[in-house]
Amino acid sequence: MSRIMHWILFCNVFVICCGLEEGSSVKKNVPAVNRTLRRFQGFRRPEVRFWPTHKESRFLSLFTVVTFPNGACAGASGDNGTCMAARECSSRGGSANGYCANGFGLCCIFMTSCGSTTTENGTYFVNSGYPTPYDGTGSCEITINKSHPAVCQIRLDFDRFSIAGPEKINNVCNRDQFIVSGGNPVPAICGLNQGNHMYIDAGIGTTNPVKLTFVSGGTPFERIWKVKITQIPCDTIYKADEGCLQYYTGVSGQLKSFNYDPTSGLQLSNQDYGICIRMERNFCGIQYTACTDTVNNRSRSFTLSGNSNSPVNSMTGSGVGPNNCANDWLLIPCAANVGRVQPAQALCTDRICGGTFSADLSMQSASVLTTVKPFRLWFHTDNVEAPVDVDNRGFCLNYVQQPCTNNVI
């Protein structure tokens, strides 16, 4: 028994031990243990009183350090953070916000603002003075460096996003702008985007910093933003598909164009991006329906072209003419209305625009189905609105994936 070492360190690390032949894995484990212990110095420096002598060590201890990973945690404030020791949180520039790992760790929140550089996964980028709004002019930029060489995507979640909207003639973001540079091309956006998100391609390799910039123009406006930055390794299952600025998962959900707001939002010009929905297992089609508009007397939840201050029919196709979508459109591959196919028209269409959501020329909104895979939409707008296109909101659609039965292939 004397040759079997039982060590139990009463700090914030538990060590479970058992006997092992000398010369196997104990010595290899020592550096790893020391590293682990150093990570917990923020709690209490563990006292390792001795290592076994050569004489004692014919049988050495194989100890398994039961510790907690630096995983995601929910802070007391509701923000998400990373679970770690207090000293590590402080040295990495975070602030502790509640406990995690059954009280052994602290939930470390990383929040940063103008002029900073971050490598921390889960960092929040907030406006100067947050949570107080910022009403001034200038440029606020942060640089995101990869937290790990394996990172190849960055997801931005707009937990708060309220900056000045576009000008009201052509809906161009020429006052305030949110700009992403350093990754794949991303359209500049402005206005109200709380709850929306973006995926940024960070490329392969250890560098490729991505910059996020909020430009505040001269218009007085109480700007507020809080952007959560999540770094995504290439080999994860939650990585977005290539070419998807937005990526949704789940059998059902809701997707909106940027600055969609039924009350005051305006469809943004100069947009051109893909929206992807992950095909869930055993689902073969996807159905889209315009969101319920609870604000306006007449639904404006799909208003892409025409003067939406009056009822506007749906428009389809890529031809030139009053009922085509030559300038602004939502592209849904081979879209067809559920339950009604008008014989005089093509069985399916691609581009949809106008002021009513339907794959047929109609004043009546419809549910639209496509079985083209993968499930993907493209949104395109040019840089002109007035005088033909006025007060369009953009789109808000609910989607429901359709199972591989019921004649859906």
Binding site for Ca ion (CB under 5 A): 327-328, 381-382, 385
Considering the complex, state which of residue 171 and residue 401 has its C-beta at the smaller distance from Ca ion: 171
Closest CA to 157 of 119, 122, 133, 204: 122
CB of 257 to Ca ion, least distance (A): 12
Considering the complex, state which of residue 176 and residue 328 has its C-beta at the smaller distance from Ca ion: 328
CB of 272 to Ca ion, least distance (A): 12
Closest CA to 116 of 131, 106, 126: 126
> How far is 301 from 294, CA to CA, in rounded Å?
10
Amino acid making up residue 177: Q
Considering the complex, state which of residue 13 and residue 330 has its C-beta at the smaller distance from Ca ion: 330
CB of 265 to Ca ion, least distance (A): 15
Considering the complex, state which of residue 89 and residue 189 has its C-beta at the smaller distance from Ca ion: 189
| CA 129 from centroid of its chain's CA atoms | 24
Residue nearest to Ca ion (CB): 328
Considering the complex, state which of residue 170 and residue 219 has its C-beta at the smaller distance from Ca ion: 170
3-state SS class at 68: coil
Among left, alpha and beta (phi > 0; psi -120 to 50; other), residue 250 is left
| CA 167 from centroid of its chain's CA atoms | 27
DSSP calls for 328-384: SEEEEEEEEETT---TTS-S-EEEEEESS--SSS-SS---EEE--SSEEEEEE--S-
3-state SS class at 296: coil
CB of 268 to Ca ion, least distance (A): 10
The maximal CA–CA distance of the chain, rounded, in angstroms, is: 94
- Token pair belonging to 401: 């994936």
**For residue 203, what are the contacts with CB-CB under 8 A and spacing of at least 6?**
152, 183
Considering the complex, state which of residue 96 and residue 190 has its C-beta at the smaller distance from Ca ion: 190
CB of 379 to Ca ion, least distance (A): 12
Neighbouring C-alpha atoms within 13 Å toward the C-beta of 367: 11
> How far is 315 from 328, CA to CA, in rounded Å?
11
CB of 171 to Ca ion, least distance (A): 7
CB of 269 to Ca ion, least distance (A): 6
Considering the complex, state which of residue 278 and residue 380 has its C-beta at the smaller distance from Ca ion: 380
Considering the complex, state which of residue 328 and residue 360 has its C-beta at the smaller distance from Ca ion: 328
